[in-house]
């Protein structure tokens, strides 16, 4: 079952500049922000906690990053919406019955969460991500 909107992701060219803008916009304090690199996705990210959800800012770590390609094609802006689940495999099986198939197998994403993306062609031109917290 989908339990929450985990985050809304925005592709940016300059993470530090975008982070300052969004801190000002949301009034977020430093303790509400987490920055990390995700080598598997070739991005540097900043998460800004806003209530029970987050805003994720995505900066490419080079020209071969999928985010660099996104920025080149579409410019800065909304990249994806991430929905939280307790069991990503069950959700993949459920959505498959509706002919909504993920783009790949689940992988490890930011925050050490299991992630999978769905094709925007199947979701009203919005890239949708499922995320699952991995239990220690």
Q: Is 46 left (phi over 0), alpha (psi -120 to 50) or beta?
A: beta
| pLDDT score of 68 | 97
pLDDT by residue (tens digit) across 24-76?
999 999 999 999 999 988 999 999 999 999 999 999 999 999 999 999 999 99
> What is the C-alpha to C-alpha distance for residues 87 and 97, in angstroms, rounded to an integer?
16
> What is the C-alpha to C-alpha distance for residues 125 and 133, in angstroms, rounded to an integer?
26
E strand or H helix that includes residue 130: strand 127-133
Q: Which of 110, 4, 120 is nearest to 58 (CA)?
A: 110
Q: What is the pTM of this model?
A: 0.90
pLDDT by residue (tens digit) across 99-117?
999 999 999 898 889 999 9
């Amino acid at each position: 079952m989908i339990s929450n909107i985990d985050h809304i992701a925005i592709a940016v060219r300059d993470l530090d500049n975008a982070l300052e803008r969004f801190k000002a916009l949301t009034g977020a304090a430093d303790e509400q922000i987490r920055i990390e690199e995700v080598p598997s996705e070739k991005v540097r990210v900043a998460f800004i906690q806003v209530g029970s959800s987050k805003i994720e800012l995505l900066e490419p770590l080079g020209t071969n990053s999928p985010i660099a390609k996104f920025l080149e094609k579409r410019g800065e802006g909304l990249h994806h919406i991430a929905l939280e689940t307790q069991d990503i495999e069950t959700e993949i099986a459920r959505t498959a019955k509706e002919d909504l198939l993920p783009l790949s197998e689940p992988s490890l994403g930011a925050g050490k969460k299991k992630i999978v993306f769905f094709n925007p062609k199947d979701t009203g031109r919005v890239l949708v991500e499922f995320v699952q917290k991995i239990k220690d």
